[in-house]
Amino acid sequence: MRPSLVLLALLSTAAPVVATPALAQLVLPGAVAPTPEGAPGAAAPAAKPAAKPKPHRRPGDAAGLPAPAPAAPALAKVLPAASLAGQTLYRDGRGSEITFETRDKALVVSHLVLAGKADDGSECRVDVADLPLPVRDEGQPGGMARIGIPVPACPISFDVLDGAALETGDRAACAFAATHCRVDPTGLWGPPAASLTPERDKAIERQRTQAEAAVRAGYKRLMSTTKLRSALMGYAHEQAQFSSSREEMCRGYAGEVKHGFCATRVTEARAAALRVKADIGQAEKDARKKKRGAKPG
């Protein structure tokens, strides 16, 4: 038999073979290779257990401790009377003027001019001649250092503030018979508007913000010292009245719309007064609580 016939016979008796082209696949890192066709299905990877939610912690309590209470608003410093030495202050930034000096280690008034109204409505001035006048220490009844000045026919009391002095005496105007001049010394005595530079205006604005926050905190603390309705209503009325009183007192201060110096210092004085009231109220509240808790012997 010829070789070609033998080869043909062998091919006719062999089992048919189906050729399957091989497909190369690119497997990316982390990817799961597909299961070949016809192979048993591969088990899906087990899902990771859900992470337990972490307990919420406030800032500052990483150790599980309660976060500290927010800091109380800063109050204006209680300045000594001696801080007025070397200063000349003007009522409403103009008009009446007073100069403080230190002599023999004591604070005195070396210059004092009081501006007022005459009987006919015209402007008048009283140049106080009995100088120097001593300055008396009157404690801190309103939270700030208070001084007294024995002006003849018109004694004056000041609360000492930063670069200012506040006279809040509730009385009629002083009458000087010799000059037929009536003088009202109440109000804020401070620097003239011309001395308040833009840089100082910015500092005053920051101080005003701090003082307002201190007043709100002090009022809230005062209201927490009692549950007596009449007392609470009295505190609320006083607080509401403060805003109108401040506006009335400061509207005449020279350049107030521009710098707000008067309102800032008056607000600082109010914050100090609230601190004193709240301290007294808290002491009374603690005493009541202690009395209720005391057992009969």
Spell out the long-range contacts of 172-177 with Cβ–Cβ below 8 A and sequence spacing 24 or more: 173/116, 174/114, 174/116, 176/114, 176/116, 176/126
Burial of 187 (0-12, 13-18, 19+ CB in 10 A): buried
H or E, element range at 190: strand 187-190
The answer, yes or no, to whether residue 11 has pLDDT greater than 50, is no
Average pLDDT over residues 4-19: 41
- Output the six-digit token pair for 149: 């000045």
Nearest Cα residue to 164 out of 133, 127, 200: 200
Give the bridge partners for 115, in sequence order: 125
The answer, yes or no, to whether residue 184 has pLDDT greater than 50, is yes
d(CA 71, CA 231): 27
The answer, yes or no, to whether residue 33 has pLDDT greater than 60, is no
Average pLDDT over residues 187-200: 92
Average pLDDT over residues 108-137: 95
- Output the six-digit token pair for 181: 């001049």
Average pLDDT over residues 168-180: 85
Nearest Cα residue to 189 out of 103, 118, 99: 99
Report residue 59's pLDDT band, with 50, 70 and 90 as the boundaries: very low
pLDDT reported for residue 291: 85
Helix (H, G, I), strand (E, B) or coil at 169: coil
CA dihedral sign of residues 171, 177, 179, 180: positive
The answer, yes or no, to whether residue 158 has pLDDT greater than 80, is yes
Average pLDDT over residues 94-111: 96
Ranges of beta strands (E only) in 50-186 are 88-91, 97-103, 106-118, 123-127, 133-134, 136-137, 146-149, 156-161, 164-167, 174-176, 181-183
Asked if 211 and 76 touch (Cβ cutoff 8 Å), the reply is yes
Higher pLDDT, 27 or 244: 244
d(CA 154, CA 290): 46
Report residue 118's pLDDT band, with 50, 70 and 90 as the boundaries: very high
pLDDT digits (tens, 9 = 90+) for 251-267: 999 999 999 999 999 99
Task: Give the rounded percent of residues in the chain with a pLDDT score beyond 70.
Answer: 74
Asked if 75 and 272 touch (Cβ cutoff 8 Å), the reply is yes
pLDDT reported for residue 199: 85
Task: Indicate the domain borders of the chain.
Answer: 81-190, 194-289
d(CA 38, CA 28): 23
pLDDT reported for residue 297: 52
Average pLDDT over residues 4-13: 40
Mean pLDDT for the chain overall: 82
Asked if 150 and 134 touch (Cβ cutoff 8 Å), the reply is yes
- Output the six-digit token pair for 84: 């007025």
pLDDT digits (tens, 9 = 90+) for 200-249: 889 999 999 999 999 999 999 999 999 999 999 999 999 999 999 999 99
